[in-house]
Protein backbone atom coordinates (compact mmCIF):
# COMPACT_ATOMS: atom_id res chain seq x y z
CA UNK A 1 0.00 0.00 0.00
CA UNK A 2 1.26 3.48 -0.80
CA UNK A 3 3.68 5.11 1.61
CA UNK A 4 1.77 8.36 1.01
CA UNK A 5 -0.91 7.20 3.42
CA UNK A 6 1.15 5.82 6.32
CA UNK A 7 0.18 8.77 8.55
CA UNK A 8 -3.52 8.71 7.69
CA UNK A 9 -4.48 9.38 11.34
CA UNK A 10 -3.03 12.89 11.18
CA UNK A 11 -5.33 13.96 8.32
CA UNK A 12 -8.36 11.76 9.03
CA UNK A 13 -11.79 13.30 9.48
CA UNK A 14 -15.24 11.78 9.07
CA UNK A 15 -16.21 14.51 6.60
CA UNK A 16 -13.29 13.47 4.37
CA UNK A 17 -13.96 9.75 4.92
CA UNK A 18 -17.60 10.09 3.86
CA UNK A 19 -16.68 12.19 0.82
CA UNK A 20 -14.09 9.63 -0.25
CA UNK A 21 -16.50 6.73 0.26
CA UNK A 22 -19.27 8.43 -1.74
CA UNK A 23 -16.79 9.24 -4.51
CA UNK A 24 -15.48 5.66 -4.51
CA UNK A 25 -18.98 4.19 -4.84
CA UNK A 26 -19.85 6.62 -7.66
CA UNK A 27 -16.61 5.78 -9.52
CA UNK A 28 -17.25 2.03 -9.19
CA UNK A 29 -20.76 2.49 -10.61
CA UNK A 30 -19.35 4.51 -13.48
CA UNK A 31 -16.74 1.83 -14.18
CA UNK A 32 -19.29 -0.98 -14.29
CA UNK A 33 -21.78 1.07 -16.38
CA UNK A 34 -19.20 1.84 -19.07
CA UNK A 35 -17.26 -1.44 -18.88
CA UNK A 36 -17.99 -2.61 -22.43
CA UNK A 37 -17.07 0.77 -23.95
CA UNK A 38 -13.55 1.10 -22.54
CA UNK A 39 -10.41 1.35 -24.61
CA UNK A 40 -7.25 -0.36 -23.41
CA UNK A 41 -5.56 2.72 -21.98
CA UNK A 42 -8.76 4.03 -20.36
CA UNK A 43 -9.37 0.66 -18.72
CA UNK A 44 -5.83 0.50 -17.38
CA UNK A 45 -5.98 4.01 -15.95
CA UNK A 46 -9.44 3.76 -14.35
CA UNK A 47 -8.82 0.37 -12.73
CA UNK A 48 -5.49 1.49 -11.28
CA UNK A 49 -6.90 4.85 -10.15
CA UNK A 50 -9.84 3.22 -8.38
CA UNK A 51 -7.61 0.57 -6.82
CA UNK A 52 -5.34 3.27 -5.35
CA UNK A 53 -8.38 5.09 -3.95
CA UNK A 54 -9.54 1.80 -2.42
CA UNK A 55 -6.10 1.37 -0.82
CA UNK A 56 -6.41 4.75 0.87
CA UNK A 57 -9.96 3.99 2.00
CA UNK A 58 -8.84 0.70 3.58
CA UNK A 59 -6.37 2.62 5.74
CA UNK A 60 -9.06 5.17 6.60
CA UNK A 61 -11.42 2.31 7.49
CA UNK A 62 -8.88 0.98 10.01
CA UNK A 63 -8.58 4.45 11.53
CA UNK A 64 -12.39 4.68 11.59
CA UNK A 65 -12.72 1.39 13.48
CA UNK A 66 -10.03 2.44 15.95
CA UNK A 67 -11.82 5.71 16.68
CA UNK A 68 -15.20 4.07 17.07
CA UNK A 69 -13.63 1.58 19.48
CA UNK A 70 -11.84 4.25 21.51
CA UNK A 71 -14.35 7.09 21.83
CA UNK A 72 -17.83 6.85 23.33
CA UNK A 73 -18.71 10.03 21.45
CA UNK A 74 -18.61 8.28 18.10
CA UNK A 75 -22.01 7.15 16.92
CA UNK A 76 -21.64 5.87 13.35
CA UNK A 77 -24.06 2.97 13.53
CA UNK A 78 -26.40 4.40 10.88
CA UNK A 79 -23.51 5.18 8.50
CA UNK A 80 -22.00 1.73 9.10
CA UNK A 81 -25.29 0.07 8.15
CA UNK A 82 -25.75 2.31 5.11
CA UNK A 83 -22.29 1.71 3.65
CA UNK A 84 -22.37 -2.03 4.44
CA UNK A 85 -25.70 -2.49 2.64
CA UNK A 86 -24.60 -0.36 -0.36
CA UNK A 87 -21.30 -2.18 -0.80
CA UNK A 88 -22.86 -5.62 -0.38
CA UNK A 89 -25.42 -4.85 -3.09
CA UNK A 90 -22.69 -3.58 -5.42
CA UNK A 91 -20.32 -6.48 -4.75
CA UNK A 92 -23.02 -9.13 -5.06
CA UNK A 93 -25.03 -7.82 -8.01
CA UNK A 94 -22.51 -5.94 -10.15
CA UNK A 95 -18.86 -6.27 -9.20
CA UNK A 96 -18.58 -10.03 -8.57
CA UNK A 97 -20.26 -10.99 -11.89
CA UNK A 98 -17.99 -8.51 -13.71
CA UNK A 99 -14.82 -9.96 -12.15
CA UNK A 100 -16.01 -13.52 -12.73
CA UNK A 101 -16.64 -12.75 -16.40
CA UNK A 102 -13.18 -11.18 -16.77
CA UNK A 103 -11.57 -14.30 -15.33
CA UNK A 104 -13.73 -16.58 -17.49
CA UNK A 105 -12.71 -14.74 -20.66
CA UNK A 106 -9.03 -14.86 -19.74
CA UNK A 107 -9.30 -18.59 -19.11
CA UNK A 108 -11.32 -19.52 -22.19
CA UNK A 109 -10.38 -16.91 -24.80
CA UNK A 110 -7.08 -15.44 -23.64
CA UNK A 111 -8.74 -12.01 -23.70
CA UNK A 112 -9.15 -9.25 -21.15
CA UNK A 113 -12.31 -7.34 -22.10
CA UNK A 114 -11.91 -7.94 -25.83
CA UNK A 115 -8.19 -7.18 -25.89
CA UNK A 116 -6.29 -10.24 -27.11
CA UNK A 117 -3.17 -11.13 -25.20
CA UNK A 118 0.04 -11.54 -27.14
CA UNK A 119 0.69 -14.55 -24.96
CA UNK A 120 -0.93 -16.24 -22.00
CA UNK A 121 1.66 -16.74 -19.30
CA UNK A 122 1.98 -19.79 -17.09
CA UNK A 123 1.79 -17.43 -14.10
CA UNK A 124 -1.73 -16.34 -14.98
CA UNK A 125 -2.85 -19.84 -15.97
CA UNK A 126 -1.61 -21.26 -12.66
CA UNK A 127 -3.43 -18.57 -10.67
CA UNK A 128 -6.84 -18.63 -12.33
CA UNK A 129 -8.15 -21.91 -10.84
CA UNK A 130 -7.32 -20.61 -7.36
CA UNK A 131 -9.59 -17.60 -7.82
CA UNK A 132 -12.80 -19.55 -8.38
CA UNK A 133 -13.81 -18.89 -4.75
CA UNK A 134 -15.01 -15.39 -5.62
CA UNK A 135 -18.04 -16.96 -7.29
CA UNK A 136 -19.46 -17.81 -3.88
CA UNK A 137 -21.80 -14.93 -3.07
CA UNK A 138 -23.12 -16.49 0.14
CA UNK A 139 -19.83 -16.47 2.04
CA UNK A 140 -16.78 -14.36 1.28
CA UNK A 141 -13.70 -16.44 2.00
CA UNK A 142 -11.74 -13.24 2.24
CA UNK A 143 -8.53 -14.47 3.88
CA UNK A 144 -8.08 -17.25 1.31
CA UNK A 145 -8.88 -14.96 -1.61
CA UNK A 146 -6.59 -12.13 -0.47
CA UNK A 147 -3.77 -14.63 0.08
CA UNK A 148 -4.08 -15.78 -3.52
CA UNK A 149 -4.04 -12.22 -4.82
CA UNK A 150 -1.01 -11.36 -2.66
CA UNK A 151 0.79 -14.44 -4.05
CA UNK A 152 -0.19 -13.42 -7.56
CA UNK A 153 1.36 -10.01 -6.97
CA UNK A 154 4.61 -11.63 -5.91
CA UNK A 155 4.71 -13.92 -8.92
CA UNK A 156 3.97 -11.14 -11.38
CA UNK A 157 6.54 -8.78 -9.89
CA UNK A 158 9.26 -11.30 -10.67
CA UNK A 159 8.62 -10.86 -14.39
CA UNK A 160 6.88 -7.50 -14.76
CA UNK A 161 7.51 -4.06 -13.37
CA UNK A 162 4.13 -2.52 -12.42
CA UNK A 163 3.54 0.78 -14.17
CA UNK A 164 0.89 3.46 -14.22
CA UNK A 165 1.47 4.19 -17.89
CA UNK A 166 -0.23 2.95 -21.09
CA UNK A 167 1.03 -0.35 -22.34
CA UNK A 168 0.64 -2.17 -19.03
CA UNK A 169 0.61 -5.93 -19.71
CA UNK A 170 -2.83 -7.55 -19.47
CA UNK A 171 -1.56 -9.67 -16.59
CA UNK A 172 -1.02 -6.56 -14.51
CA UNK A 173 -4.34 -5.08 -15.55
CA UNK A 174 -6.16 -8.21 -14.41
CA UNK A 175 -4.19 -8.27 -11.17
CA UNK A 176 -5.14 -4.64 -10.45
CA UNK A 177 -8.81 -5.51 -11.04
CA UNK A 178 -8.52 -8.39 -8.54
CA UNK A 179 -6.75 -6.13 -6.06
CA UNK A 180 -9.55 -3.57 -6.44
CA UNK A 181 -12.13 -6.31 -5.87
CA UNK A 182 -10.28 -7.49 -2.76
CA UNK A 183 -10.06 -4.00 -1.27
CA UNK A 184 -13.73 -3.31 -1.99
CA UNK A 185 -14.67 -6.53 -0.19
CA UNK A 186 -12.48 -5.50 2.74
CA UNK A 187 -14.36 -2.20 2.98
CA UNK A 188 -17.69 -4.02 2.97
CA UNK A 189 -16.50 -6.29 5.76
CA UNK A 190 -15.20 -3.28 7.69
CA UNK A 191 -18.61 -1.63 7.89
CA UNK A 192 -20.31 -4.84 9.00
CA UNK A 193 -17.62 -5.34 11.63
CA UNK A 194 -17.94 -1.73 12.84
CA UNK A 195 -21.73 -2.06 13.03
CA UNK A 196 -21.52 -5.27 15.05
CA UNK A 197 -18.63 -4.48 17.39
CA UNK A 198 -18.30 -0.78 18.16
CA UNK A 199 -19.83 0.28 21.45
CA UNK A 200 -21.54 -3.06 21.95
CA UNK A 201 -21.20 -5.18 25.10
CA UNK A 202 -18.38 -3.22 26.69
CA UNK A 203 -17.48 -4.38 30.18
CA UNK A 204 -17.48 -1.82 33.00
CA UNK A 205 -13.69 -1.72 32.96
CA UNK A 206 -13.46 -1.32 29.15
CA UNK A 207 -16.09 1.45 29.13
CA UNK A 208 -14.34 3.19 32.01
CA UNK A 209 -10.96 3.05 30.28
CA UNK A 210 -12.40 4.42 27.02
CA UNK A 211 -14.16 7.24 28.86
CA UNK A 212 -11.02 7.96 30.88
CA UNK A 213 -9.07 8.19 27.61
CA UNK A 214 -11.64 10.67 26.26
CA UNK A 215 -11.20 12.85 29.33
CA UNK A 216 -7.41 12.67 29.09
CA UNK A 217 -7.54 13.56 25.39
CA UNK A 218 -9.71 16.57 26.23
CA UNK A 219 -7.32 17.72 28.97
CA UNK A 220 -4.33 17.42 26.60
CA UNK A 221 -6.00 19.09 23.60
CA UNK A 222 -5.42 22.84 22.99
CA UNK A 223 -9.15 23.48 23.33
CA UNK A 224 -9.37 21.52 26.57
CA UNK A 225 -6.27 23.11 28.10
CA UNK A 226 -7.58 26.60 27.36
CA UNK A 227 -11.00 25.76 28.81
CA UNK A 228 -9.55 24.27 32.01
CA UNK A 229 -6.92 27.02 32.48
CA UNK A 230 -9.59 29.69 32.05
CA UNK A 231 -11.87 27.93 34.54
CA UNK A 232 -9.26 27.71 37.30
CA UNK A 233 -7.94 31.22 36.59
CA UNK A 234 -11.50 32.52 37.00
CA UNK A 235 -11.89 30.67 40.32
CA UNK A 236 -8.67 32.25 41.62
CA UNK A 237 -9.61 35.69 40.28
CA UNK A 238 -13.04 35.55 41.98
CA UNK A 239 -11.21 34.61 45.20
CA UNK A 240 -9.25 37.90 45.11
CA UNK A 241 -6.25 36.21 43.55
CA UNK A 242 -5.82 33.75 46.44
CA UNK A 243 -5.58 29.97 46.20
CA UNK A 244 -8.86 28.25 47.08
CA UNK A 245 -9.31 26.44 50.37
CA UNK A 246 -10.66 22.91 50.60
CA UNK A 247 -14.17 24.14 51.39
CA UNK A 248 -14.07 26.55 48.42
CA UNK A 249 -12.85 23.78 46.11
CA UNK A 250 -15.68 21.52 47.27
CA UNK A 251 -18.20 24.28 46.58
CA UNK A 252 -16.73 24.78 43.09
CA UNK A 253 -16.96 21.03 42.51
CA UNK A 254 -20.64 21.03 43.50
CA UNK A 255 -21.39 23.89 41.08
CA UNK A 256 -20.00 21.90 38.14
CA UNK A 257 -23.42 20.27 37.77
CA UNK A 258 -24.67 23.59 36.36
CA UNK A 259 -22.32 23.21 33.39
CA UNK A 260 -23.59 19.73 32.49
CA UNK A 261 -26.24 19.57 29.72
CA UNK A 262 -29.69 18.65 31.01
CA UNK A 263 -29.73 15.36 29.09
CA UNK A 264 -26.66 14.13 31.01
CA UNK A 265 -27.20 15.63 34.46
CA UNK A 266 -28.60 12.41 35.94
CA UNK A 267 -25.57 10.47 34.66
CA UNK A 268 -23.20 13.07 36.11
CA UNK A 269 -24.92 13.46 39.49
CA UNK A 270 -25.38 9.72 39.98
CA UNK A 271 -21.81 8.67 39.19
CA UNK A 272 -19.46 11.62 39.82
CA UNK A 273 -16.11 10.10 40.74
CA UNK A 274 -16.87 6.68 39.19
CA UNK A 275 -15.91 6.64 35.53
CA UNK A 276 -16.84 3.00 34.95
CA UNK A 277 -20.41 3.47 36.17
CA UNK A 278 -20.68 6.82 34.37
CA UNK A 279 -19.58 5.29 31.07
CA UNK A 280 -21.95 2.34 31.40
CA UNK A 281 -24.88 4.65 32.18
CA UNK A 282 -23.89 6.84 29.23
CA UNK A 283 -23.92 3.82 26.88
CA UNK A 284 -27.24 2.59 28.30
CA UNK A 285 -28.77 5.98 27.44
CA UNK A 286 -27.65 5.51 23.85
CA UNK A 287 -25.11 8.33 24.00
CA UNK A 288 -26.06 11.97 23.55
CA UNK A 289 -26.23 14.78 21.04
CA UNK A 290 -22.79 15.64 19.72
CA UNK A 291 -23.03 19.22 21.01
CA UNK A 292 -23.67 17.91 24.56
CA UNK A 293 -20.63 15.65 24.73
CA UNK A 294 -17.78 18.17 25.09
CA UNK A 295 -19.48 20.17 27.93
CA UNK A 296 -20.10 16.87 29.72
CA UNK A 297 -16.47 15.73 29.35
CA UNK A 298 -15.27 19.20 30.37
CA UNK A 299 -17.26 19.07 33.61
CA UNK A 300 -16.05 15.55 34.42
CA UNK A 301 -12.41 16.54 33.76
CA UNK A 302 -12.70 19.58 36.07
CA UNK A 303 -14.36 17.42 38.73
CA UNK A 304 -11.39 15.06 38.83
CA UNK A 305 -8.80 17.84 38.78
CA UNK A 306 -10.52 19.56 41.71
CA UNK A 307 -10.79 16.23 43.52
CA UNK A 308 -7.04 15.69 43.07
CA UNK A 309 -6.31 19.19 44.41
CA UNK A 310 -8.44 18.55 47.48
CA UNK A 311 -6.62 15.29 48.21
CA UNK A 312 -3.20 16.89 47.79
CA UNK A 313 -4.15 19.58 50.35
CA UNK A 314 -5.69 17.13 52.82
CA UNK A 315 -2.85 14.60 52.46
CA UNK A 316 0.36 16.59 51.86
CA UNK A 317 2.41 13.59 52.94
CA UNK A 318 1.56 11.95 49.60
CA UNK A 319 4.24 13.22 47.23
CA UNK A 320 5.30 12.05 43.84
CA UNK A 321 8.98 11.34 43.29
CA UNK A 322 10.50 13.54 40.60
CA UNK A 323 11.92 11.39 37.81
CA UNK A 324 12.78 11.97 34.16
CA UNK A 325 9.60 11.70 32.07
CA UNK A 326 8.62 12.84 28.59
CA UNK A 327 6.06 10.25 27.48
CA UNK A 328 3.70 9.50 30.38
CA UNK A 329 0.71 11.49 31.64
CA UNK A 330 1.40 13.22 34.95
CA UNK A 331 -2.16 12.62 36.11
CA UNK A 332 -4.62 9.89 35.21
CA UNK A 333 -8.26 9.85 36.28
CA UNK A 334 -7.64 12.87 38.51
CA UNK A 335 -4.77 11.31 40.45
CA UNK A 336 -1.06 11.97 40.25
CA UNK A 337 0.97 9.21 38.63
CA UNK A 338 3.75 7.98 40.91
CA UNK A 339 6.59 7.67 38.40
CA UNK A 340 8.75 5.67 40.81
CA UNK A 341 6.00 3.12 41.23
CA UNK A 342 5.36 3.09 37.48
CA UNK A 343 9.06 2.47 36.83
CA UNK A 344 9.00 -0.46 39.26
CA UNK A 345 5.86 -1.83 37.56
CA UNK A 346 7.44 -1.62 34.09
CA UNK A 347 10.59 -3.22 35.52
CA UNK A 348 8.53 -6.24 36.58
CA UNK A 349 7.10 -6.49 33.06
CA UNK A 350 10.58 -6.09 31.56
CA UNK A 351 11.65 -9.27 33.38
CA UNK A 352 9.24 -11.17 31.10
CA UNK A 353 10.94 -9.86 27.94
CA UNK A 354 12.71 -12.57 25.95
CA UNK A 355 13.03 -10.60 22.69
CA UNK A 356 13.08 -6.91 21.81
CA UNK A 357 9.63 -6.99 20.20
CA UNK A 358 8.07 -7.63 23.63
CA UNK A 359 8.62 -3.95 24.43
CA UNK A 360 5.77 -3.40 21.97
CA UNK A 361 3.53 -5.45 24.28
CA UNK A 362 4.55 -3.31 27.27
CA UNK A 363 3.76 -0.21 25.18
CA UNK A 364 0.30 -1.64 24.38
CA UNK A 365 -0.51 -2.38 28.05
CA UNK A 366 0.56 1.11 29.16
CA UNK A 367 -1.50 2.62 26.34
CA UNK A 368 -4.45 0.44 27.39
CA UNK A 369 -4.28 2.07 30.85
CA UNK A 370 -4.14 5.58 29.35
CA UNK A 371 -0.64 6.28 30.64
CA UNK A 372 0.94 7.14 27.29
CA UNK A 373 0.79 10.88 26.57
CA UNK A 374 3.40 11.07 23.80
CA UNK A 375 2.66 8.22 21.39
CA UNK A 376 5.95 8.64 19.52
CA UNK A 377 7.62 5.25 19.42
CA UNK A 378 11.03 6.92 19.33
CA UNK A 379 10.39 9.00 22.45
CA UNK A 380 9.10 5.97 24.36
CA UNK A 381 12.21 3.99 23.38
CA UNK A 382 14.50 6.86 24.39
CA UNK A 383 12.89 7.14 27.83
CA UNK A 384 12.88 3.41 28.50
CA UNK A 385 16.58 3.22 27.55
CA UNK A 386 17.40 6.31 29.63
CA UNK A 387 19.78 5.66 32.58
CA UNK A 388 17.02 6.62 35.06
CA UNK A 389 14.75 3.95 33.59
CA UNK A 390 16.09 0.73 31.99
CA UNK A 391 19.31 1.68 30.28
CA UNK A 392 21.04 -0.80 32.61
CA UNK A 393 19.32 -3.81 31.03
CA UNK A 394 21.41 -6.30 29.00
CA UNK A 395 22.09 -5.29 25.40
CA UNK A 396 19.74 -7.96 24.01
CA UNK A 397 16.81 -6.13 25.69
CA UNK A 398 17.67 -2.69 24.33
CA UNK A 399 15.33 -1.43 21.63
CA UNK A 400 14.59 1.60 19.45
CA UNK A 401 11.53 3.26 17.97
CA UNK A 402 11.96 1.10 14.87
CA UNK A 403 11.36 -2.01 17.01
CA UNK A 404 7.86 -0.71 17.81
CA UNK A 405 7.24 1.01 14.47
CA UNK A 406 7.46 -2.34 12.70
CA UNK A 407 3.97 -3.10 13.98
CA UNK A 408 2.47 0.27 13.09
CA UNK A 409 -0.84 0.00 11.30
CA UNK A 410 -3.09 -2.74 12.57
CA UNK A 411 -1.53 -3.25 16.01
CA UNK A 412 -1.09 0.39 16.95
CA UNK A 413 -4.56 1.42 15.82
CA UNK A 414 -6.48 -0.78 18.22
CA UNK A 415 -6.38 -1.37 21.92
CA UNK A 416 -4.80 -4.80 22.38
CA UNK A 417 -7.97 -6.09 24.07
CA UNK A 418 -9.71 -5.70 20.67
CA UNK A 419 -7.13 -7.66 18.65
CA UNK A 420 -8.57 -10.46 16.53
CA UNK A 421 -6.43 -12.96 14.65
CA UNK A 422 -8.77 -13.38 11.67
CA UNK A 423 -8.98 -9.60 11.20
CA UNK A 424 -5.20 -9.41 11.52
CA UNK A 425 -4.79 -12.00 8.74
CA UNK A 426 -7.12 -10.02 6.50
CA UNK A 427 -5.05 -6.90 7.08
CA UNK A 428 -1.76 -8.77 6.62
CA UNK A 429 -2.84 -10.21 3.29
CA UNK A 430 -4.36 -6.94 2.12
CA UNK A 431 -1.07 -5.12 2.70
CA UNK A 432 1.25 -7.91 1.61
CA UNK A 433 3.05 -8.12 4.98
CA UNK A 434 4.33 -11.60 4.21
CA UNK A 435 7.01 -11.63 6.93
CA UNK A 436 4.31 -11.51 9.61
CA UNK A 437 3.51 -15.09 10.64
CA UNK A 438 -0.07 -16.36 10.76
CA UNK A 439 0.22 -16.70 14.55
CA UNK A 440 1.79 -13.28 15.20
CA UNK A 441 -1.43 -11.75 16.54
CA UNK A 442 -2.00 -14.65 18.95
CA UNK A 443 1.63 -14.56 20.10
CA UNK A 444 1.60 -10.83 20.81
CA UNK A 445 -1.81 -11.00 22.46
CA UNK A 446 -0.63 -13.75 24.84
CA UNK A 447 2.43 -11.67 25.72
CA UNK A 448 0.23 -8.59 26.32
CA UNK A 449 -1.98 -10.61 28.67
CA UNK A 450 1.14 -11.79 30.49
CA UNK A 451 2.28 -8.17 30.87
CA UNK A 452 -1.22 -7.18 31.99
CA UNK A 453 -1.03 -9.71 34.82
CA UNK A 454 2.19 -8.03 35.98
CA UNK A 455 0.74 -4.50 35.76
CA UNK A 456 -0.09 -2.84 39.06
CA UNK A 457 -2.35 0.20 38.93
CA UNK A 458 -0.30 3.34 39.51
**Residue 218 falls inside a structural domain:** yes
Asked if 140 and 268 sit in the same domain, the reply is no
3-state SS, residue 458:
coil
Looking at the structure, tell me whether residues 169 and 269 fall in a common domain.
no
Question: Which one of 197, 232, 267 terminates a domain?
Answer: 197
| Integer CA distances (angstroms), 275 to 151, 189, 212, 229, 304, in order | 48, 32, 7, 22, 10
Question: 400 or 458: which carries more pLDDT confidence?
Answer: 400
Instruction: Give me the pLDDT at residue 3, please.
Output: 45
Same structural domain, 258 and 399:
no
What are the angstrom distances between the C-alpha of 303 and each of 7, 73, 278, 425, 457?
Answer: 35, 19, 13, 43, 21
Name which of 214, 204, 350 is nearest 279 in CA terms: 204
Q: Alpha helix (H) ranges present in 110-221?
A: 122-127, 142-159, 170-197, 204-220
Same domain, 58 and 121: yes
Least confident window among 118-127, 256-265, 383-392: 118-127
Q: Which residues pair with 335 in a beta bridge?
A: 332
Average pLDDT over residues 268-273: 90
112: three-class secondary structure by DSSP? strand
Same domain, 187 and 50: yes
Residue after which a domain boundary falls, among 178, 197, 216: 197
Same structural domain, 186 and 268: no
Mean pLDDT in the chain?
Answer: 80
> What is the torsion angle, in degrees rounded to the nearest 10, for the CA atoms of residue 360, residue 363, residue 368 and residue 369?
160
Residues 107 and 220 in one domain: no
Rounded average pLDDT over 86-100: 87
42 and 170 within one domain:
yes
Which pLDDT band holds residue 144 (cuts at 50, 70, 90)? low
The residue among 287 and 36 whose pLDDT is bigger is 36
- Asked if residue 137 has pLDDT above 50, the reply is no
Mean pLDDT for 1-30 is 79
- Is 319 a domain residue? no
User: Confidence band (pLDDT; 50, 70, 90) for 295?
Assistant: very high
- 321 assigned to some structural domain: no
Domain boundary among 265, 287, 314: 314
Q: Clarify whether residues 27 and 159 are in a common domain.
A: yes
Per-residue pLDDT of 435-451, as tens digits, reads 788 888 999 999 999 99
Total structural domains within the chain: 3
323 in any annotated domain: no
Would you say the pTM of this structure is higher than 0.95? no
Structural domain of residue 421, as residue ranges?
331-454
Q: How far is CA 412 from the centre of its chain?
A: 7
* Whole-angstrom distance, CA of residue 418 vs CA of residue 412: 11
Asked, for residue 322, whether it belongs to a domain, the answer is no
Q: Across residues 420-428, what is the average pLDDT?
A: 80
Q: Are residues 366 and 433 in the same domain?
A: yes
Are residues 240 and 172 both part of a single domain? no
Task: Give pLDDT, residue 4.
Answer: 47
| CA–CA gap between residue 345 and residue 326 (Å, rounded) | 17
SS3 195: helix
If asked whether residues 308 and 179 sit together in one domain, one would say no
**Half-sphere exposure at residue 273, Cβ-oriented, CA atoms within 13 angstroms:** 7
What confidence score (pLDDT) does residue 138 get? 44
pLDDT (mean) for 330-357: 85
Amino acid sequence: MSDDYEDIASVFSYEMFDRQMDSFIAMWNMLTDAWDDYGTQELTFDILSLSLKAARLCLMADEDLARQNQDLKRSRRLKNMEYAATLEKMVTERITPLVQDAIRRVRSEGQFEGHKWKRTTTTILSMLPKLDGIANNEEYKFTSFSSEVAMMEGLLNKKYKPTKYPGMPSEERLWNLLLLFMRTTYLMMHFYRAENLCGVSLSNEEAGLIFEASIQQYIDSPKGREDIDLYFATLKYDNDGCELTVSQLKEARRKLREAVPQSLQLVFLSHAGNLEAMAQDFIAKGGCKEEDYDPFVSAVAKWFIIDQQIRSIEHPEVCVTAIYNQVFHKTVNGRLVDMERLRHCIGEMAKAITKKSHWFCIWCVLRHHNLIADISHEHFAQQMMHPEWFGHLPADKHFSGDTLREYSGYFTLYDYAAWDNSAFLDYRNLNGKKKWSEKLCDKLLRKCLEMEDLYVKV
